[in-house]
Structure 1
């Protein structure tokens, strides 16, 4: 990632930076202390900057050297070669050095462009071919949770067992009926089944089937039927999956868990709060959200892929 990112950046040379003249790369692909090692050994101040040694005036460039002794022989030849390279180099205006972002015509680094590079070159290739999904109506922790769930990166018991972690049992800590896999925990556990049943009853949807984690991540977009408010429904499905995981951890570590009706109330209240805070152009009606969310005002352009 580091080298790919650096290839998207270009140095814009000024004349006023505190850049180390000989220790840092200025011309070509090598540090000047390597390319011109003889005159580097003659330099008194090894930390000299461009501004210390090169002065620009109306007539051109002046040089202010500080040698242990005057260069001669090969050292003098190196000095003439260095001056020749510097003379042909196009210095910028009297400003500090800066970086230019090559991925955009403005030369300014945009975080979206960097996120796209990370997703295309690192996240997808390193973990899976699944695209990274984003939803601007939800907190980042929910997006991270869905990202991890799509790639089977949540520490359910079967995954911990595969990594050699000693567990008392690999059975589901919520229902204790089957081995805890990711899909069992989020979809097939008796608690998860009951919660999803209540969730779709809340949304007045009868024909939506969840077969995999990707069905949760994609929401109605992965379904053959057209649903009103698919963006809002997808956001609330993400919150529901997160609350299943949250309830599972509460029971495992705090020895407390809530009923599916109680967790559904948390899904309703949290999704309402998060969506209302982040959507500045629309306002959800509290009563309508709890009674008929499918009839809430539709919000566009909130669900995207990097």
Structure 2
């Protein structure tokens, strides 16, 4: 494993399940909670995903207007990155962010990433926080 010695192959959040990409991104209780919060925030029905590929398939098949699809794509990618970063902080860092701030991180980072990817769209941070899909 590229020179890293891991103490365990179990989920670093709960230690009850063997960690793989499906567990980390869609199966872990932390991931499930964050996906639910994102669904409520965006006011979209997000299905239960069976794996990471299903996330991208779902986003690509959204039948909605372009801006919402771009918002959902950005937020989903951000959420995956936040989960990956949190997992790595648990395993490799002395400073682990609190679980309670992870959703706020999704909102903050996705705002910045959305604006950088879509310079022709104007949206304020406050509007983004309230509902970016409006």
TM-score category, normalised to shorter length: 0.7 to 0.9
Q: What residue is the counterpart of 1:258 in the other structure? A: 98
Structure label with greater radius of gyration: 1
Question: What is the correspondence of 1:1-306 to structure 2 with a 5 Å cutoff?
Answer: 160=1, 167-222=6-61, 226-228=63-65, 229-255=68-94, 256-259=96-99, 261-295=100-134
> Residues 36-70 of structure 1: CA distance to partner in whole angstroms, max 9, x if unpaired?
xxxxxxxxxxxxxxxxxxxxxxxxxxxxxxxxxxx
Provide the rounded CA distance (Å) in 1 between the counterparts of 2:22 and 2:127. Answer: 32
Displacement, 1:205? 1.7
Ranges in structure 1 where 5+ consecutive residues have no aligned partner: 1-159, 296-306
- Equivalences, count: 131
8 A contact 1:187–1:212 mirrored in 2: yes
Q: 1:253 to 1:207 in 2, by over 3 A?
A: closer
Q: 1:219 to 1:269 in 2, by over 3 A?
A: farther
> Residues 197-241 of structure 1: CA distance to partner in whole angstroms, max 9, x if unpaired?
111111112353322111223442245xx3441122111100110
8 A contact 1:210–1:216 mirrored in 2: yes
TM-score of the pair, normalised by structure 1: 0.39
Provide the rounded CA distance (Å) in 2 between the counterparts of 1:212 and 1:227. Answer: 23
TM-score of the pair, normalised by structure 2: 0.83
Ranges in structure 2 where 5+ consecutive residues have no aligned partner: none
What RMSD over aligned residues (CA atoms) do the two structures have, in Å?
A: 2.3
8 A contact 1:172–1:179 mirrored in 2: yes
8 A contact 1:216–1:234 mirrored in 2: no
Provide the rounded CA distance (Å) in 1 between the counterparts of 2:90 and 2:78. Answer: 18
> Residues 13-52 of structure 1: CA distance to partner in whole angstroms, max 9, x if unpaired?
xxxxxxxxxxxxxxxxxxxxxxxxxxxxxxxxxxxxxxxx
Q: 1:211 to 1:282 in 2, by over 3 A?
A: same
Q: 1:227 to 1:278 in 2, by over 3 A?
A: closer
